[in-house]
Each structure stands twice: as C-alpha cells, then as structure tokens.
Structure 1
Amino acid sequence: MRQLLSIPALLCASLLIAPVAALAASEAAPEIKYERYTLSNGLEVILHEDHKLPIVAVDLWYHVGPVKERAGRTGFAHLFEHMMFEGSKHVGEKAHFKYLEAAGATDINGTTSFDRTNYFETLPANELELGLWLESDRMGFLLDTLDRAKLTNQRDVVRNERRQSVEGRPYGIVDETVFHLLYPSTHPYYADVMGSHADVEAARLADIREFFAQYYTPNNATIAIAGDYDPATIKPLLEKYFGPIPAGPQVDLTPVTTPPITSERRKTVADAVQLPKVTLAWLAPPAYKPGDADASIASLILGSGKASRLYRELVLKQQIAQSINCYNDSEALASNFVCEMIAKQNVTPEKLEAEAEKVIDDFMKNGPTAAEVEAARNVTETQMISGLQRLGGFGGIADMLNQYNQYTGDPGYLPKDLARYDAVTPASVRDLAGKTLGKDQRVVVYGVPGKKVLNDVPRSPDDTDANVKITPSHTAEFEQAQAWRATAPKPGPERALVLPKPNVFKLDNGMTVYLVERHELPIVSTRFVTLAGAAGNPADHPGLAGMTAAMLTEGTAKRSADEIAIRAAMLGTDLSSASDSDTALMYISVLKRNLPGGLELISESAERPAFLAKDLDRTRAARLTSLLQQEDSPVQMAFRAGALNLYGTSNPYAYDSLGTSDSLKAMTRDQVAGFYASHYGPKSSLLEITGDVTPAEARALAEEAFGKWTSAAMQPKLPPPPALPQRKIFIVDKPGSPQTALLAFGVGLEKNSPDYAAATVMNTMLGGLFSSRINMNLREAHGYTYGAFSFYSFYRGVGPFITGAEVRTDVTAPATNELFKELEGIHTTPLTDTELRMAKDSIIRSMPGSFESADGVNGQIQDLWTFGLPLDYYEKLPARLEAVTSADAQQVAAKYVKPANMLVIAVGDKSKIESGLKDLKLAPVETWTEK
C-alpha cells in the first residue's frame, strides 16, 4: 500500500511559510454571563442580558427527539415541530407565524434533531412578552385545538418535506441508508428524524395527543432568553406566562445501548444522480465525552475544506473526486463520523474508496502533524466565537446556552469547550483515529446512478379519526383562571431603530472602503467585491466571469491553491470566492489578531492571480461536473430553464455563474486573463471591513493590502431588460421525481427603482412571508407543498420576479391553478389594512436582525455600493416603507406581477404531470430541453 507521506510533509512545509500562533481558550473566549433557575413546575430558565441591539432571542428546547420515540412511531417529534405552529387555544388557528411576522421577528423556526426539539424566534425587544405568550400557550394549551383536520394537513406537509429534503434531494436516500447501517432498527438514531412515510401516515390523533402530554411539558423543557430585556421584569413575566402550566409526568430516559460495529457493513443504493457517491462512516464517542473533540479535529483534518488531506489528494492532486466532506456529528448516545465523497465522471466508486482508504490508513498510522491540529483548532475556535455575534437562531447565544445545558449541564460551558480543543494533540488524534476509524468498524455506502426506489404509502382515508372525541386537557376552573390569555400582549415602547451607516473612505488608487465598527467581540468580517459578475460576460462566452472569479483562489504569483488553502486554515478561516449576476467577491471571517494575514491573502488573490494552465484545466473540469450535477436537482433545473427562457441566450443574465458546457470547454487562459484585466481594478472594487477595527487601523490595513494596486478596469455596461413574454408552460422531464419543481418567472425591477418600497411591501404579503397568501394557500390550506414563495431577484439591471414551490407530483396541475389564482388575486383583491400593517411591521421591525453579525452587516451594506444607493439608505428606508398605501401596492402589482406574461417551468415526471397541465388550459404546454 502506497504511503502518502508527502501529504503531511507538504502541509508542514507550507505552514512554515507563515506560522500563526494558536489561541489559548482564555484569550479567545468571552464569558457568556447567565442566570439559571427553575420554576415550581419544573421549567428550567436561562437568562443572558445583552443590550447591544434592541432585540431579544427566545429559544425553547423540549428534551424530546427520536431518542424518545419507539419503533412504529418514528417522526413524531418532527411531526410535532409542525403541529406546534398550527395555533393553540388562545392564539388561534394558523396565527402563530402571523403574530411573529407582524411583530418583525426573525429566525422564526423549529428544528428536530436526534436528542431534542427546539423552537426559537428573535424579536424586537419591545415584543418579548408576545414571544412568551405564544410559546407558553402552545406548551399549555395546544391539545384542545389539535384536531383531525390539522393532523391531516400537517401529515401532508411533513411528507412533502420528506419528499423534498430526503427523497428529492440528490443522494438523500443514500445518506439515510448510512444511518440504517450504523444502527440497528430498534435504535432511536436508525430512522431519519422525519420518520418514514408509513409511520407518519399511521400517526393517529390519540397517538400524538399522548406523545404531546408526555413530552411537551414544562418539566421536560428549558427556555433560554438572550438580549435586550429588562432584568427587573423578566422573571415576573416568565412566572406569569409559564408558571401556571401544570407539570407533566416524569420523563425518564430509557437506557439505550449502541452496539459497536465489529465487521464492515456495506450497501449500494441506486439514486437519480449523475455521479457515484462514496460514504464512509463510523461510530465515534458521544457528544462532549472524552475523544469527541479529537474526532471533530480529525474530521476537519481529513476532509473539511480545501486544506484537508482528502481534498488535497483526491480533488487537487488525483482529480478523481468532485467534492469531499468529512464531519463529526456529535450526539448524546453516539457520534457519527462521516466522510462523503462524490466521484468525477468515469471514476468508479471502487477507485474513489480505494484511494480514500490510503489517506485514512496513513492518518491512522502516523497521525496528524502539529500544524494540522493547530489549523483545525484555529478554525474551530473562530467558528465558536463567531457564533456569539448572534443572539438567536441556529448557533446563536441562546441556542448555545441550551446546547451546553442539555449536553453538559453547564450553560456557560464555552471556556471549557474551547479548553477541550486546546487539549487536543497529534498523539490524542492519532489514538482516536486508531480506535475509531478501522475497516471493521465502518459502514460503506455507494450511491450510484440508477432508478430510485421509494417507500411511499397512500394517504389515510378521509374519515380517519372521525370518531375520536377530544376531551378537555384542563379543568373548567383552570381554564377560567387562564382566560386572560385570550388577549395578545401589547408591545412595549418602541426602541429607537439604529442601523449601521458605514464609515467610507477611498484609497489614492480609487478603491472604496466601507468600515463598520463592532468592538463587542474580537471578530472581523471582510469582503472584497468587484463589478465583475455575469453581466460582463460576452454573449458567446457565458460563464467567463464565474470562471475568472473561481480562479482567484486557485493560485497566485506567490502561492499555489494548496498553499492558499493551508494559509487560510492557519488563520482560522476559509478563503472563498464566488460570483453572481453583477459582482465577484472574496470573503473571510477571522479573529482580529489574524486580520492582517487575512487581508494579505485576499489582496494577493485579487491583485496577482496566476491563471496557470493546469489550474484552469482543473477548475474547468470541476465546473463542468457542477454543471452536470445541476441535472440532479429539479429546483436548480427549474431556475436555469426559467432564466434562459425569460432573458434569451444572448443576454448575460440568462446564465448562472457556470455558463454552458460548450463555453467552458472552449474557454482559454487568454480569455480568462483578458476578462480579469478589463474588469478587476481598484476603481471598480469595494473593500468591506466590519468588526473590532478602528478607522485608523482600517485605513492602514487597507493601504497595506490594496494601496499599490493599479488597473484601468471600469464598470461594465448593464444588459438590456428582457421583453415581456407571453404565458407558456415548459415541462422539463425528470422521470421518477417524487415532486415537481414548479416555478413561474416574470420581469421584475431594479433595486434602486422608485417602486422598490411599494413592490417589497406588496410581495411580502403575496409570497414573502410564511403567512403570505401563496404559502397559506398551497401549504396550509391544501397541503400541496412544504413551502411556497415569491421574490424579486435584484440585479444592477432588471432582475426577474420568481414564484412557486416544490409540490407533490399528483397535485402539480391544481397547485399551478392555485398559484395563478393568487397572482391574479393580488390585482383584484388589494391588500387589506391588516395585511398592509403586517407587511410593513414585518419588514421594518425585522431590520435590526439583518445587522446582527459582521457578515450580515457586510451583506447589507454591499448593496449600497453595488446598486448605487445613498449611504443613509437604511436610515430612510423605514419611512419609505411606512408611506406605502394599499393603492401603491396594487399599482406596483399591476406593473411587476403580470400573470399573463409569466413563464411556468415544471420540472418533474412528464408522464404524470403533462395531461393535468394541459387540462388547465392556462397556457400552451411544451417540453423543453436546454440542448
């Protein structure tokens, strides 16, 4: 067996170019101060006070997931994640989202993992009481409203989610098979958290009422609140809303044994994909137990990011893999150490597995280098500290407090968590790998192109549960005492809306710099943006801008792609480059001490790309494969078909950043270098810096990194707007698809249009919110989809208006009909006063949440520069939105939502959807292929 000693040797040599000192946990970890106490009914409360923004995060964890389910009842926790949004006794049916969206809440969601179910929302600070009212009412008063109609509807929605997220996703059924092999069928981690179609469809009203009464109780829950609350009133409010709810039965964790794997388990699964996928998986130590941190570090070194061993060997060197991803999914009963590898065309899964095995064998034998461990630790610590920028949502402070509390019993575990990683050594990682990653301990799953086999089941009869009688869950006396809950709490006094305005300066060479100071955490997010997107593509070379942007990080005059990735990892980050319709960009997020090195890496890539032939050929091959992979995703196919038919093949906006296979194959080094020379330069570029940096520091760092750059590149011309099409339906055949990707495309507007505010308010209620007309119709009223939407995609020129959903195959035609009813209805039924108020409040009150993280700030203020908006744009936007009337909304709907001039793309099984679409007589129906 060939030993890959060159990998760690090269890594070590490269790292010696510019070493970065590892961060001690005490230096990197701000203390998260918190208070924890328990109400008399058993509800655990964790409080963290933070007044940097006028927002507050509410994060409620129920300690129930598949770990508490039993065979035949899989998916119940996830089903309840949906049921909890259907409206409780005092809140009203389908009203939960409406209250939150009207209040301007962000990060409204619920998620289910193996060990817990969580519900969270980030609210304007003056709406905290609303969040407590909503969460407490569904904890204490959901059962009386949980009827057969709601259960039927949400069974449909959950099964649509499974079709979309598991069965319709490329390799989704392959990934599910991995868990079927890692665990026995009786183990709670065996099934997908969504459960099987059979179990979800078999869920009956009595079953789920019993499940709720057992687990959705105050004594089986923890609520974390983080943000701008009044410490003098928070505890009385929590007692008011949650204190009266009776405790439920004691919840005991049934002991579960996770049997070790003692001989290799292997399976091949056919899927509707273009390329084989190889997954290797092992059982690793449980979350936060000895060895867990070592496993996480090992997964980063082996296969996470461009500096990882598998990426460098299989993607860069041998070029037999399209992508590599290793991760350690830490759970309570056992962790899942997984390496996923997608092969290039004409590469067998056997070949990919054999070459990956050599890398893993060497890792097990020799362990990582000290430099590799240091880089992985830096990346981990940067990610942990970066998460503290956000109060709520996935990985925010409230979520982190709950995570640590459930798994360690210590909400303030962050310093100890960082200390776990500081304690990792090359020897401890090698020891972990030797004990864990053996061939006899692994699962091997091949996902190969072929006919997908699904285990769907029919819907339950319409009279299911018709005879079930719902008995009150509380006494009449208790209900009377809680009657005050029928009135929603009023918001407190409005807090001042303070949104960041960048400090702007220019370098002598004409480059613009935006700085937003944030000194609460030692984190800095930086973006380099230039006007070199698809709009600049020659008509006969779609994808040229995208190729040029991709090449920026594939080698410079000073460093190879390998060395760029390694240097970025040592800085605790990953240097990424991308392009879109109008811009190309590179971005990093680093701890402050690593900002000079990060800016040096960005400037080197922006100013001195090498465009070597070998790098161009490798990148071309990867992008051709990405283009092929788009055929695996019905949604991506729909977006591609819609843009091409709306704009026409001669307009640069017709193509995404990949372009076409013919263009990619014909692309030369001179063309890429020529595009770079004419489009990249300081006068057409922006540097954004947000975080722990002063103006003096920012200017000095920008001058050092970009001050000597010279170029004559200027802004490109804008593509012409598309002509209004006549309505037509295009079917893109995807045989065997479990759903139809149904999208409709029309002509939109520019972001700097005077109509922007009115169009945004109008579309918010048409399809921009969960509570929008389109989603409430297609998802909530009919159960056709997991989610439906509409949005304007803003370009510097005229972008598209897009609406639609992924719908069940058998309802493709009626879903199309309902979609167009709503598109027509926005003209014939103006926004009501309630809808208008809801749209405005949702947009305006949620604005602070868009500026929570440094990267979020950069994303928002980038628009100022890209679209030529004034620096006080966000300060004045609330007043513009507030001024919109229902008549204004109807007027812009007439201009920018034209049902008669929309192109419908339906990507699905033609044999099952064509006749229904023709029977609609909505528009001519054609079959469309790109070639």
Structure 2
Amino acid sequence: MSVLRPAALALALATALTAGGYAPIARAASAPAVDIPYETFTLPNGLRVVVHTDRKAPIVAVNVWYHVGSKDEPAGRTGFAHLFEHLMFNGSENAPGEFFTPFKAIGATNQNGTTNSDRTNYFENVPTTALDTALWMESDRMGHLLGAIDQKTLDEQRGVVQNEKRQGENQPYGQVWDVLGATMYPKGHPYHHSTIGSMNDLNAAALADVKTWFKTWYGPNNAVLVLAGDIDLATAKDKVAKFFGDIPAGPSMAQPKVDVAAHSADSRSEMTDQVPQSRIYRVWNVAEYGAPDLDRLQLLAQILGGAKSSRLDKRLVHQDKLVDNVSAGAYGSQLSSTFMITAAVKQGVEVAKVEAAIDEELKKLLAEGPTAEEVTRNRTAIEAGWIRGVERIGGFGGKADALAECAVFMGDPGCFRDSLKTLAEATPEALRTAGNAWLGAGKGSHTLVVNPGKRVALQEEPAATPTPFKTPKADTKYKTVASSVDRKGGVPMPASFPDLKFPQQQHATLSNGTKVVLAERHDIPVVQMSYEFRGGQAADPTAKPGMASFTMSLLDEGAGDLNALAFADRAQSLGANLGASAGLDSSSAYLSALKQNLEPSVTLFADMLRKPRFEQADIERVRGQWIAGIKQEKANPNGIIQRVLPGLVFGAGHPYAAPRTGSGTEASIAGLTRTDLQGWHAGALRPQDATLVVVGDTTLAEIVPVLEKNFGGWKASGNASAAAAIPQVAAQAKPRVFLIDQPGAVQANIVAAKTLPSSADPKTVQYDMANMIVGGDFTARLNMNLREDKHWSYGARSGAGGSLGQRLWSASAPVQIDKTGEAMAEIQRELADYASGKAPASKDEVEGMEKVLTLTLPGAYETASSVMSTIASNVLYSRPDDYVFQRTAEIEAMTPEQVNAAAKALDPAGLTWVVVGDLSKTEAPIRALNLGEVTIVDADGKPVAKK
C-alpha cells in the first residue's frame, strides 16, 4: 500500500529508462511490434471490464482501478483518497479482518494497492483455480464495505498512514515533493497538495466523512476491472456478472477539467536538509496524459538526460565533471504532467555553474532539435523497454496496469498503441517543436535547490472546514442484475491449485570450461543471461572493501574499441541492457537482449567481460560518483544500518564485516588503483570456474554457437583468487545496543540482528519457516503488532539474506520517534516469547505460512529474470536442477515442532541492536529498557564520545 509520486508513466515509457545508452551501429534494427490484445464488456451497473488472455502461467492478474485520487479531495480533507485505500484493506462486511488473510491462503502474488493524484488501484495475481476467491473479495469491498468501517479501524489506519508520511519525510530530500506540488500548482488546483495529505487534515478526518467519501466515489460505474492471464472472455463475463453484477451504481462523477497550469516565467527557491550535497530540481508543467506531445516530451527527455550517454550526461558528468549524476524525465498525469531535470551537484562545485550548463544544453536542444540518430537510438531503447514490460501480466506496470490506465484516463484500453505510434513517427523536428511548445521561451520552470544544512520542518496549514457536501444521487441509467452469490457463506476457497512448473534446464559446456544452463521461455522476443563467477565482496582484501563491486561497476564503462560513451550508445541502439555487479559470495554480469539483435548484443557483452578498458579518466569519474554515493548512504537511515550493522555483528576483519551495500569506504575507494582493478578482474572472472545461465527466447542449438564464438577462446590471464574463507562467528554472549544520531528525525529506524547458519545448512528451510512466523510476511507477528495493532510503524519485518557463511538475520521497523522504546520492548518480547516456546508457532500459523511459500510459486516464476535468479542461486549453493521442487516438498511436510525447534535460533539474548534516530528523543527511553550495554556510534560505526 503506497503513494505514487508523481503519477505512474505509461508502461511503454516507464520501463524504458532502465535501458543503457550507446553509439550507432551500421544498421540499428528497431524493436519488433509487441501488442496487448484485449476484449471488453460493461456490466449493466456500469463496471467496465477488460480481458487479456495470456496462458504462459496458471495465474490471473486481477486489477481494479477506481477513478478517484487526491485531485478529488476538498479543502480540509487532503490525504483522504490514500487513507481510504488503507481502509479498504481492513476487511468488508462479509469478510471481516485483514483483507490479505484469504489471499495468503491461496498463494496470491504481486498484491498491493496504490494511490496517486488521479486514481486508486488494487491488484493481485492469483492461481487460476482461485479466481473466484479474488473476485468475491474485490466485489465485497466494492459493494459491502461501509458496515465494516468503524472508529477503531479509522484510527488504526490513520496512524499507519501518518507513519508512512513520516517515513517518506525522514528520507534525504524527502520534503521536496510537498514543496514542488505547492509551488507548481496554485492554491485551489487539484494538484496543489500532496497525495498523502497533511497531518492536520488526517487528524480531522471523521467517520461520517469517510462513509460519504465511499458512497460518492467507489461505485462500479467509477471503476475499471482488468483480468489478464489464464482467462478468456466467456469465463470473465460469467464470473464478473456473478460477483459484481448486483452492486448498485453510485453517482456519475464529473472529472476536473484539464488544467496544465503552465508557468509563464522562471522562478527559483532553495531549502536546506541534512544531505551531503546540493541537488537541483528543475520542473515544468507540461501536456496532460494522453496528449501526443507528452509522448514526444518523454522521448525528448530520454535524449536530454534519460540515458547513460544523454546530452546532459555527456556535458555534466563526462566533460565538465560538475555533477555525480543527472537525469531527465516526463511524468504523465490526468490534468497536467511534469517535465523534470534532477542533478546531484559535486561537492565543491557552484550550484549556479551547474544550472547554467543545464540551461545551455536545453536551449541548444530546443534550438537545433535532436539528430536523427539520437531519435532512432532512444526510440529503440524505449520500445525495448516496452517489450520487457509486457512480459508481466500484473503487479506494478504489468499488462493489466497498462490496460487499466488507458481505460480509466482515455476510455480506451489500447491507448498505449497511440503512444507507440507517436513514438514511431517522431521526427527530430516534431520533438523540437514539442520541446519549444512546453519548455521554450515564455514557458516558465521552477528550480528548487536543496543544500546541505539543517532540516526545517515544513509548516502545515490548519485543517480547513470542508464545504458541506451532499452526496449526489445514484445514476439511474445503470441497473443491477441478480446474483446467486451467498455472501453470508463466506469467502469461496479453491478445492485445488495448479501444479508448480519450473522450466526444464538444459546443459552444455563451452570450450573455455564455462558451464551453460538454459531455460527456454518463448513468451517475448528477449534473451537474458547471467555469467556467474565465484567470489564477491567477501573476497575483498580487508583494507580494500568495495573493490569487487567497484571493479564490476566499471566493466560497462568502455570495452574493446568503444570508450564509455560509445559503449553506452551501442547498447542503447541494440535495445540491450547489460551491466555487472558483485554480491556477497559471487559476482555476475548480465545481458538482456532483443532476440533480433542477439548476436551483436552477445558480442558487446563479451567485450565488456573480456576487454574492459579501465581508462584512468573513467576510473576517476566513477570514483567520484561512488564516494558521493557512500556519503548519500550515510545520510539515509537504512543506508547507515546497512553500512554499520555487518561490522558490529561479524567483527572487524571478518569477510562479511564490510558494508552490505558493497560500496566500501571513502578511504578504500579513494585508494584503489588501475592495477588493483585489473588484478581483481583477471583473478576473479575466470570462465573455467563459471556458469552462464541463459533464459529466454532461444534454444541450446541456437545459443551455444553464439556463445562459443564470443567466449570460447576466453582464458583467464590471472591466477585464481583464493576462495574467501568464512570463519564462524560465536554467538553474542549478551545483547548490545548501538545508537546513531539523526538530528531532527521524525522516526527511529530500529534493527535487531544476529547470525543464522549458512544457506547451505541442512536446516535452512526450517530457519526460513521460523522467520516467516515472526516477520517474513505482512501477516506475521511483528507487522501485525507494530503496524496493524499499535499503528506505530508503516511496516515491520524480518529476514536473512543468503550466504555461504553464516547468514545475517535481522528484524527491523521504522517507528514514530516517540514510540522508540516501546517498539523495541515489543520486538524483544515477540522474539523472546517465540524462541522460548512461551508463544510457539501454532498449527494454523505454520500451515498458513506453508501456503504463502508454496502456493505462490506458480506465479513467482512468471518472468525470465525470476527463473534466472533462482537458477543462479542453485549454482552458487551447488543445488540440483529440481531444488525448487525439493524445497517445496520440504515446506509442505514441515511440522510445528520443527518450526519451533528452529525458532530457538532467534533467541534475543545475543541480539545486536542498532537504532538510527534523533538521540535527544531516543536515548533515554532506550537506556531505560536495560536491553544491554548502550554505545553511541557514528555513521561509520565508530564510537562517539558523549558531549
């Protein structure tokens, strides 16, 4: 459940910005056409239904969009749409309790709800046999909600939403969005206030207001239902009429008129925050969602600053070295859209100099227009992003989302086709014209600069008294149809579930010794691969943490005959995504290639791995960005925890003691030499010890010759790096507490950690199940306590990452600052009662979590990337091809006795606690708990003398 800010882009463009950039090839083939075929019907009560059939997995995406968002809130009731999104997860009249509960029992995946300025949506993927369950639940909260909303529920979810607001504001630069909304749109404009609303208005929300809001906006005639996946039109018509047909229509609500509110003059403002570097936000109000000019502006933004070799990147990052990163994008909304340029200014650089350079590059682009080559290259990247995006039927940005967005805002589920057509026909002159129409002379922008300094709380206006509102009468042109559904009989549950299917794996070996594992997936014309190497961050020399990650990050900064910018251009022209990274115990390089450009993409991938240039200028540029990133981590409470916690748990010098971000320290990165990087590359990336996992639209007969041609002659030039010995760490004898000061924080980030046995331990699955009970799921004990019961937190969870050595297990929760001590006491109590057997896992809890872990699997392997990551994990831990099935069988056979025996490992007696928050508000209550010795440390984990 979340707020989206700003409104989501259309799928065709949202996924494109992940693509890398690159220089022209002799002939760049454009991406193949990939469509989302659909059929529609409308119930007599006005519910619009869109159906898309995709039989690749036995799951159906259920996606309900209500055409109501924060734009529809009256003065004095800001945040209502988002608050109501939360309320609709708290049960309905015929299904009291948590909305998630029955979905956990049927293996739902990708379940959530979001609110933005223009709409509220709810979605889940369910096994085909459980479609009735999902439709019953969604229809019950659409037609039978009001009786389930009482003052207790309102107070509970109000508290959760307020902690979500605090969590957002507590992040570095977290106040920006409230400021920009109020600045870009005048008072009274529907976009003037933020989607999450003000604390004052949330506090003023009354039960009667909530019920009026529901009666006004949540009728079937203000909603769109999309069913995508293992479904057909006839089945959809029958089931939707059965479950939704008897829900009466509500009023027919007029939508606000389009009001772009474009500025006529430039303006500028500054603010301070506890951040390590200045950040520039330059914003324009531009054409609304659905306008062809918005599509053109999105392509123009990609050319200006949306790709690795964009104009702003070339000028500000590579040439003038003024910023650590820069980006540009156009983000569509119903009444007005946002064109935004963001730049992180290098420390020591004058902000004005960066602003002037941005202005120069923009004016040049508007005056001359982009080149034909820039248009073709960036269009290919966007089209490739679209193809990758339509692999998923549901979830954020999946096919169901794209269809619903078009149906709600344009009345046409296929409006994405118009956007793709506009992009296909875009010329340099068309982009220049659109750019000048919205960003040129007379079209003002606002520049907001956030500088390092003290964070000043934003002042909220008092809650206004809303204008009395009388709910309009229901629209009489809509009718209901009789339904045979027995609501009082409870939620219908499936009698059976689809069998788990995992692609058959085929094997080969290249002449260089690399083992190839292929899983065929022919749903979209894309082939993905990941070259898996032994050794990762844990193999870094003690004095050089971050070396593995830093080296891997430089592989795509120029290779073979291509410098960094030319390499990025070539990747973009091919529609290929590629890069490399280091994990804790392994390192990998990945490629996602369009099928039609597979061979040249693999050639580029091979150059990246075999012939990285490691140019000194690129090393210095990336080094500067890297160190700036470390400083950003140290300004973010979660980043601080990831940096400090491992060293406190494992101890200095241990291979797992370095920051879990993999970024190392400022000193270690500053000291790395080109020789260090070349040595690590030669010793760690050894093809004879590696496995290449391939998943996608290819066959073994087709792909092996391509791989052999590009990698067969690759021989490692260096000596094998010694495998990192992972020494065992003794359990802490007693608890310890470490406090890190974050002055002005409105939340405290709490984490409690200890070690669990290796992922290779025979009882790993039992430990995972023990964790599920306490914090591994939304319905687990910690979250139900701190979020749903006490509403002190937006979410509490626990879990352990995988590792060859001992795993780092942690329980975490961001909580409102005045509940820090009480929240820690609750975490301590929950763990102690569970581990000691005072509150053991019940049979129902174990069976419930078994379903969460097993029934979700048919939907969990919908995408090629999910299959690839599972195979790669099996490779790392030397697991058999059928491990997914073995693990499933083990979970299904697990008993409460086994789970409770494993839960003893979570005994809080040896916990390491880390709390990041305002010390003036957290220290006293924490010390009063007497959980253990209290030490104040800095963002590097070093003790701080108390003032």
Equivalence for 2:762: 754
Q: How far does residue 485 in structure 1 lie from its aligned partner after superposition?
A: 3.9
Map residues 13-412 of structure 1 onto 2, 5 A cutoff: 15-23=23-31, 27-30=32-35, 32-94=36-98, 96-165=99-168, 167-229=169-231, 232-412=234-414
Matched, 1:841 2:845: no
Q: How far does residue 756 in structure 1 lie from its aligned partner after superposition?
A: 1.8
More deviation, 708-717/503-512: 708-717
- 1:802-841 deviation per Cα after TM superposition (whole angstroms, max 9, x unaligned): 1111111110111111111111132222211211111011
Letter of the structure 2 residue corresponding to residue 743 of structure 1: V
Equivalence for 1:469: none
Q: Distance in 1 between matches of 2:315 and 2:52?
A: 45
Q: How far does residue 721 in structure 1 lie from its aligned partner after superposition?
A: 3.0
Letter of the structure 2 residue corresponding to residue 378 of structure 1: T
- 1:120-158 deviation per Cα after TM superposition (whole angstroms, max 9, x unaligned): 001111111111111111111111111111111111111
Matched, 1:634 2:637: yes
Q: How far does residue 235 in structure 1 lie from its aligned partner after superposition?
A: 2.4
Q: How far does residue 482 in structure 1 lie from its aligned partner after superposition?
A: 6.9
Matched, 1:865 2:875: yes
Equivalence for 2:683: 678
Equivalence for 1:546: 549
Asked if structure 2 preserves the Cα contact closer than 8 Å seen for 1:549 and 1:579, the reply is: yes
Q: Distance in 2 between matches of 1:743 and 1:691?
A: 39
Q: Distance in 2 between matches of 1:706 and 1:178?
A: 50
Asked if structure 2 preserves the Cα contact closer than 8 Å seen for 1:108 and 1:122, the reply is: yes
Asked if structure 2 preserves the Cα contact closer than 8 Å seen for 1:565 and 1:574, the reply is: no
What fraction of aligned residue pairs are identical, expressed as a percent? 34
Q: Distance in 2 between matches of 1:97 and 1:14?
A: 45
Q: Give the direction of change, closer, same or farther, for the CA distance of 1:609–1:254 in structure 2 (3 Å limit).
A: closer
Asked if structure 2 preserves the Cα contact closer than 8 Å seen for 1:531 and 1:715, the reply is: no
Q: Distance in 2 between matches of 1:413 and 1:256?
A: 18
Q: Distance in 1 between matches of 2:908 and 2:827?
A: 10
Q: How far does residue 885 in structure 1 lie from its aligned partner after superposition?
A: 0.7
Asked if structure 1 preserves the Cα contact closer than 8 Å seen for 2:641 and 2:914, the reply is: yes
Equivalence for 1:702: 707
Q: Distance in 2 between matches of 1:347 and 1:21?
A: 41
Q: How far does residue 353 in structure 1 lie from its aligned partner after superposition?
A: 0.9
2:817 to 781, 805, 809: 809
Asked if structure 2 preserves the Cα contact closer than 8 Å seen for 1:187 and 1:256, the reply is: no
Letter of the structure 1 residue corresponding to residue 89 of structure 2: F
Letter of the structure 2 residue corresponding to residue 494 of structure 1: F
Q: Which stretches of structure 1, 4 residues or more, deviate above 6 A after TM superposition?
A: 456-460, 478-482
Map residues 503-518 of structure 1 onto 2, 5 A cutoff: 503-518=506-521
Q: Give the direction of change, closer, same or farther, for the CA distance of 1:819–1:480 in structure 2 (3 Å limit).
A: farther
Q: Secondary structure at the match of 1:251?
A: coil
Asked if structure 2 preserves the Cα contact closer than 8 Å seen for 1:757 and 1:884, the reply is: no
Asked if structure 2 preserves the Cα contact closer than 8 Å seen for 1:748 and 1:799, the reply is: yes
Q: How far does residue 296 in structure 1 lie from its aligned partner after superposition?
A: 0.5
Asked if structure 2 preserves the Cα contact closer than 8 Å seen for 1:752 and 1:869, the reply is: no
Q: Distance in 1 between matches of 2:113 and 2:700?
A: 40
Q: Distance in 2 between matches of 1:579 and 1:229?
A: 40
Equivalence for 2:795: 787
1:903 to 899, 908, 912: 912
Equivalence for 1:465: none
Asked if structure 2 preserves the Cα contact closer than 8 Å seen for 1:813 and 1:913, the reply is: yes
Q: Distance in 2 between matches of 1:257 and 1:233?
A: 41
Q: Distance in 2 between matches of 1:379 and 1:392?
A: 22
- What are structure 2's unaligned runs of at least 5 residues? 1-20, 464-473, 475-480, 943-947
Matched, 1:890 2:900: yes
Alignment TM-score, normalising by the size of structure 2: 0.92
- 1:575-608 deviation per Cα after TM superposition (whole angstroms, max 9, x unaligned): 3322221222232323211222221222111111
Asked if structure 1 preserves the Cα contact closer than 8 Å seen for 2:245 and 2:483, the reply is: no
Asked if structure 1 preserves the Cα contact closer than 8 Å seen for 2:260 and 2:286, the reply is: no
Equivalence for 1:5: none
Q: Secondary structure at the match of 1:441?
A: coil
Equivalence for 1:690: 695
Q: Distance in 2 between matches of 1:681 and 1:256?
A: 58
Q: Distance in 2 between matches of 1:576 and 1:203?
A: 48
Letter of the structure 2 residue corresponding to residue 793 of structure 1: G
Asked if structure 2 preserves the Cα contact closer than 8 Å seen for 1:525 and 1:587, the reply is: yes
Equivalence for 2:921: 912
Q: Give the direction of change, closer, same or farther, for the CA distance of 1:14–1:73 in structure 2 (3 Å limit).
A: closer
Equivalence for 1:468: none
2:833 to 808, 825, 837: 825
2:608 to 605, 609, 614: 605
Q: Distance in 1 between matches of 2:460 and 2:414?
A: 46
Q: Distance in 1 between matches of 2:170 and 2:574?
A: 38
Q: Distance in 1 between matches of 2:782 and 2:359?
A: 49
- 1:187-237 deviation per Cα after TM superposition (whole angstroms, max 9, x unaligned): 111222111222222211111111111001111101101112365543232
Equivalence for 1:6: none
Map residues 618-633 of structure 1 onto 2, 5 A cutoff: 618-633=621-636
Q: How far does residue 698 in structure 1 lie from its aligned partner after superposition?
A: 1.3
- 1:360-419 deviation per Cα after TM superposition (whole angstroms, max 9, x unaligned): 111111111111111211111111121221111011121111112123322234443321
Q: Give the direction of change, closer, same or farther, for the CA distance of 1:459–1:864 in structure 2 (3 Å limit).
A: farther
Q: Distance in 2 between matches of 1:795 and 1:89?
A: 45
Asked if structure 2 preserves the Cα contact closer than 8 Å seen for 1:19 and 1:570, the reply is: no
Q: How far does residue 492 in structure 1 lie from its aligned partner after superposition?
A: 4.2
Asked if structure 2 preserves the Cα contact closer than 8 Å seen for 1:732 and 1:928, the reply is: yes
Asked if structure 1 preserves the Cα contact closer than 8 Å seen for 2:324 and 2:346, the reply is: yes
Q: Distance in 2 between matches of 1:87 and 1:598?
A: 50
Aligned length: 897
What's the RMSD between the two structures over aligned residues?
2.2
Asked if structure 2 preserves the Cα contact closer than 8 Å seen for 1:268 and 1:446, the reply is: yes
Q: Distance in 1 between matches of 2:302 and 2:260?
A: 25
Q: Secondary structure at the match of 2:794?
A: strand
Q: Distance in 1 between matches of 2:497 and 2:550?
A: 48
Q: Distance in 2 between matches of 1:557 and 1:419?
A: 36
1:501 to 501, 504, 512: 504
Letter of the structure 2 residue corresponding to residue 922 of structure 1: L
More deviation, 359-368/446-455: 446-455
Q: How far does residue 298 in structure 1 lie from its aligned partner after superposition?
A: 0.8
Q: Distance in 1 between matches of 2:194 and 2:513?
A: 54
2:931 to 916, 922, 926: 922
Q: How far does residue 923 in structure 1 lie from its aligned partner after superposition?
A: 1.5
Asked if structure 2 preserves the Cα contact closer than 8 Å seen for 1:101 and 1:769, the reply is: no
Q: How far does residue 866 in structure 1 lie from its aligned partner after superposition?
A: 1.5
- 1:393-449 deviation per Cα after TM superposition (whole angstroms, max 9, x unaligned): 011121111112123322234443321210111111111111222365111100111
Asked if structure 2 preserves the Cα contact closer than 8 Å seen for 1:197 and 1:455, the reply is: no
Alignment TM-score, normalising by the size of structure 1: 0.93
Equivalence for 1:467: none
- 1:492-549 deviation per Cα after TM superposition (whole angstroms, max 9, x unaligned): 4322221123222211111122211111221222222322410111112111111111
Asked if structure 2 preserves the Cα contact closer than 8 Å seen for 1:732 and 1:927, the reply is: yes
